Amino acid sequence: MMSSYRDLFSQACKQGLPPHEVQLLLEHLTALSRTALLLRMDDPAPDRLPQQLNELVQQSLTGYPLQYLLGEWEFFGLPFFVGEGVLIPRADTEVLVETALELCDGMFAPQVCDLCSGSGCIPIALSRHLPEQASLTAVELSDAALGYLQKNVQRHHCSNLTVVQADVLTWQPQQLFDLITSNPPYISDQEMLELQPEVRWEPEMALRAQENGLYFYRVLSKRCQSYLRAGGWLLFEIGYTQGQAVSDLLLAEGYTDIRLIPDYNGNDRVVAARWQPAER
């Protein structure tokens, strides 16, 4: 007797996978929308589907990221290709994009740079929501992440976004920017030992940072001074315990108007600071 979609759904849930993850895997394997799948739950499933679903369920149960199994994930209402070697976009990072858009409000042609771009979720979301006259630059070092970044730029037709492969710790652009964003590595050595199993599949170079997680904030706060326009803004995503430490670093470097912006759970998530060299 052939299994129905409902049978396969129930069997996967009984193995310990959350229902919403089973739903996403079935949508992925069948290329059906959520509504279409729900309408067909009592129909016979294709012959190959039970084995295909079981293979993905078994991988997921080992802690392998659901997002990698699906091959894409949504961020700021947009789908992004993801896979091994690139950081998975997270909803908390949307706060960084929202803050950047607010600070660019009223600018006719903002010049924006994103450092440690990974999948490109931050600069691509900005590209899609800023005026078409805006110019954006995305900087990424990793070969693996760069491949996803380039594919996502093509997917979303971001003609005003330039991709640069470079080390943000040494890169020196030949222009000034109105706004610089970055979600750099910020997880300390101790925190790396406590990560959830699925996070450990993500690239360590996008997660771990020396100096108790503060290394990139210290170096970039210095380096960005040379390519931030006077009055321009530097925005960092931070770990929820790092708000005061990163704010203090920026203050010591001469930044002004330092702001802490919480995420949707009320935790510190973004630090925004203005570069006003004349005020030093």
pLDDT digit string, tens, across residues 140-196: 999 999 999 999 999 999 999 999 999 999 999 999 999 999 999 999 999 999 999
DSSP-derived 3-state class of residue 78: strand
Output the pLDDT for position 253.
Answer: 96
Is residue 18 over pLDDT 50?
yes
* 241 pLDDT higher than 60: yes
Asked if residue 127 lies in contact with residue 161, where contact means CB atoms within 8 angstroms, the answer is yes
| Count of beta carbons in the 10 Å neighbourhood of residue 75 | 23
Report DSSP state, residue 44: B
Closest CA to 73 of 202, 229, 252, 180: 202
Contact 120, 153 (CB under 8 A): yes
Rounded Cα gap, residues 220 and 224, in angstroms: 6
Residue 255 pairs in a beta bridge with 275
Predicted local distance difference test score (pLDDT) of residue 277? 85
What three-state secondary structure class fits 10?
helix
Asked whether the beta carbons of 83 and 71 are under 8 A apart, the reply is: yes
Task: Say if CB 186 and CB 119 are below 8 A apart.
Answer: no
Q: What is the pLDDT of residues 30-81, one digit of tens each?
A: 999 999 999 999 999 999 999 999 999 999 999 999 999 999 999 999 999 9
Neighbours of 105 (CB within 10 A): 9
Q: Which two tokens stand for residue 18?
A: 């959350």
